[in-house]
Amino acid sequence: MTPERFMNAIRFTLLLLVLGGLTACQHPHTPDHRDADLYQALGERAGIETMVENLLYLIVEDERIAFQFKGIDVAHFHRQLSDQICELSGGPCLYTGRKMRESHSAMAITETQFNALTENLILAMEQNRIPTGAQNRLLALLAPLHQDIRGL
Amino acid sequence: MMRLIRTSCTTLVLAALVIPMASADPGSRIWATGGVTTIEGSAGGGLVPWAMLSGYASDREWGGTLALTRAELDDFTVSFTGVTLNWRNRLEVSVGRQTLDLDTLGAALGEDELSQDIFGVKTRLWGDVLYHRYGQWSAGLQHKRNRTFTIPDAVGARDDSGTDVYLSGSKLFFAAVLDRNLLANITVRGTKANQGGLLGFGGDQDDGYEAQFESSLGVFIDRRWLAGVEYRQKPDNLGFAREDDWWDLFIAWVPDRSLAVTAAWVNLGDIAGLENQQGAYLSLQGSF
Ligand code: HEM
């Protein structure tokens, strides 16, 4: 190995270490202080409820997923999802609905449908002017639910 | 600066061609998760393939991309034109043509350019870049065929065609840096290619496959802007001139699913004895 190539190998290793270091800093989220500011950033209970309402409007307009929601008890769904987001974001709420795997198992949700819902959620947050950082933090809390919702 | 302006002008003309094609609904994957098109046609950054498949097709859809890229280095111009198809976010197929204009060396060598065709396939083996804890992993091949072999032959290349094999892992870490999403990619490639294949495959110093590491790291400033860095190790098979690793700094703008514009500063190191080749890179991608 020439000295030049050796230096390059070192540089590359450093890049990997930085990468690895950042990964290691990804601690699992538990409702803590940091997440309580997330609850504030989402506009507290009222903000979350409007966001979920906006989400519902987007869902019924979206032909990729609207059919999955046909005939549901909309008020119940709105309350459950608001409770869940409120609790996850560190707010003073308690989600009392079913486990994600249980409530979604009969729907055979495809990846396309999951992406459609994620897209609508992001659009709903944008409609509510939730700052990018808070959007990302909420997505970080919801992304791990993917496996259960899709029944994988 | 002139160089950047010239590149921008070319790109504007090309944009006029790409944008109208990219009008249909390109698929359901989340914005910017198809990456852009590398100078070898596979979805990725500019120089390094990522584990994501091209465009926006999700598991019930198909889609694809068309890309035009140009990098004006000190003594060379690299360009690439290619198309990809993505079937159900499972299989990506790509075809493209890459050329290196020998701006400075041309007269002395009696040739204007080096050029090759690249045929690629990539398959998603496992996982998902956004939703899976361990990210997404894909494997791919890039089969490259030189269209001009006089110069590679003269400098000691063994073959006028070759196939790279690679394994890539990509993962998006939500809210990882100042609450911004971080995209990390790592690729290991087995290759015999000299300067990516433009100078043929294998050489007088080494004619075997070598494992090379490639990596990139990008931060989503918001869902439309991704800025980052890429690094690509390269073999050094030819005795006539030393070959360097490549790196770049990039910023990509993805206003919606149909369009992506990437600007970068690339450093391709020494090429054919001309030192430290750097320059502006601009790439346009339309998705369908
Ligand atoms: C991160 C993504 C998701 C979250 C956080 C989420 C959350 C929830 C919650 C909290 C409930 C109420 C459960 C209960 O009442 O016990 C629910 C129900 C429901 N979800 Fe999801 N969900 C997600 C993705 C999806 C997707 C992708 C679909 C389909 C395209 C979907 C379709 C439904 C339907 C139709 C119900 C009503 C079920 C019923 O009342 O019988 N969900 N979801």
Are A138 and A126 in contact, with CB atoms under 8 Å apart? no
Q: Is residue A49 part of a domain?
A: yes
Q: Cα dihedral sign for B17, B18, B21, B24?
A: negative
The percent of residues in chain A predicted with pLDDT above 90, rounded, is 76
B216 part of contact set with chain A, CB < 8 Å? no
Q: Is residue A139 part of a domain?
A: yes
Are B206 and B235 in contact, with CB atoms under 8 Å apart? yes
Q: Is residue A46 part of a domain?
A: yes
Q: What is the pLDDT of residues B184-193, one digit of tens each?
A: 999 999 999 9
A8 vs A63, higher pLDDT: A63
Tell me the average pLDDT of chain B: 93
Q: Which of B176, B179, B231 sits opposite A26 (nearest CB)?
A: B176
Question: According to the model, what pLDDT value does residue B6 have?
Answer: 60
B72 vs B104, higher pLDDT: B72
Q: What is the pLDDT of residues A3-28, one digit of tens each?
A: 565 556 556 555 555 555 555 444 44
| pTM greater than 0.80 (yes/no) | yes
Question: Among the listed ranges B21-30, B252-261, B267-276, which one has the minimum average pLDDT value?
Answer: B21-30
Mark out the alpha helices in chain A (DSSP H runs): 3-24, 33-41, 44-61, 74-88, 100-104, 111-127, 132-142, 146-149
Using a CB-CB cut-off of 8 Å, the residues of chain B touching A64 are 28
Q: Is residue A140 part of a domain?
A: yes
Q: What is the mean pLDDT of residues A65-92?
A: 97
Question: According to the model, what pLDDT value does residue A24 have?
Answer: 47
| DSSP 8-state assignment for residue A29 | P
Q: A137–B179: do the CB atoms touch at under 8 Å?
A: yes
When divided into structural domains, chain A yields a total of: 1
Question: According to the model, what pLDDT value does residue B109 have?
Answer: 84
Q: Is residue A65 part of a domain?
A: yes
Q: What is the Cα–Cα distance from B114 to B93, expressed in whole angstroms?
A: 24
B15 vs B231, higher pLDDT: B231
For residue B261, pLDDT beyond 90: yes
Q: What is the Cα–Cα distance from B15 to B204, expressed in whole angstroms?
A: 42
The highest-level CATH class for domain B2-287 is: mainly beta
Question: According to the model, what pLDDT value does residue B15 have?
Answer: 57
User: Which of B25, B28, B170 to mutate against chain A (most A CBs within 10 Å)?
Assistant: B28
Q: What is the mean pLDDT of residues B1-27?
A: 59
Q: Which domain, by its residues, includes A84? A: 29-150
**Integer distance in angstroms from the first to the last C-alpha of chain B?**
33
Question: According to the model, what pLDDT value does residue B23 have?
Answer: 47
Q: Is residue A17 part of a domain?
A: no
Q: What is the pLDDT of residues B207-219, one digit of tens each?
A: 999 999 999 999 9
Encoding tokens for residue B245? 């690793």
Encoding tokens for residue B164? 């790279």
The CATH number for A64's domain is 1.10.490.10
b/e A20-55 (16+ beta carbons within 10 angstroms → b): eeeeeeeeebeeeeebeebbebbbebebbbbbbbbb
The residue extents of the domains of chain B are 2-287
HSE, side-chain direction, 13 A CA sphere, residue B38? 26
Q: What is the mean pLDDT of residues A28-48?
A: 78
